[in-house]
Structure 1
Amino acid sequence: MSRRQGTNCGATRLRRRHRPGDPMRRFDALPAPLRRWLAEAARPWSPASSLAIWRKVRARGGTVEEALARLDRAERALLARDTAD
């Protein structure tokens, strides 16, 4: 897994979404590699959105590394969109 610089402080111009329920319980239920990726993410991710990407890759027979690479690409796209304004 690659190291990303910056902090996960939540400073973003992207729209925030409220999700009901206990976010820590959902986070704790995630696979360990996905939890580690989220802990190092440049911006906060919801457990639901990150898990959706994870499951999509894994359902197609993708490896853990492929799922993490897909999350990296999604994060880069979001960061580009956030700074494009």
Structure 2
Amino acid sequence: MAGNLGRTSLKCKRRSSDPMRDYDRLPRELRIWLSGAVLPWRPRSVRRAFDAALSRTGGVGPALAELDRIERRIVSKDARKIWGQDHPNVSNVNRV
């Protein structure tokens, strides 16, 4: 795969909106979380996941913790496909 994503099995999508404007509209706590995220989340995707987590958990902190779990699961899934079953991040797949 070309570009700065490196080797990954994750799907890539073309943008039809302005990602910086979408990023600027995110809540402050979510922008801070996103700045330290491992994956290259799209602002719309992370907002949708955050809103769903917020409605399930009822609080910003627990919702961000759920985003951490979602991200770990996605990284684990990708690590298995790219580096194999023995990669250290693969063991977290079934914990979410």
Please give the TM-score of this superposition, normalised by the length of structure 2. 0.73
Higher helix share: 2
**Corresponding residue of 1:51:** 47
Structure with greater contact order relative to length (CA < 8 Å, sep ≥ 6)? 1
Name which of 10, 15, 18 aligns with 2:5.
Answer: 10
**Corresponding residue of 1:72:** 68
How many percent of aligned residue pairs carry the same amino acid?
Answer: 40
Deviation at 1:57, TM superposition (A): 2.3
Please give the TM-score of this superposition, normalised by the length of structure 1. 0.81
Larger radius of gyration: 2
Secondary structure at the aligned position of 1:20 is classed as coil
Task: Say if 2:23 and 2:43, in contact at 8 Å, map to a contact too.
Answer: yes
For structure 2, list consecutive stretches of 5 or more residues without a partner in the other structure. 82-96
Q: What CA RMSD, in Å, does the superposition of the two structures yield over aligned residues?
A: 1.4
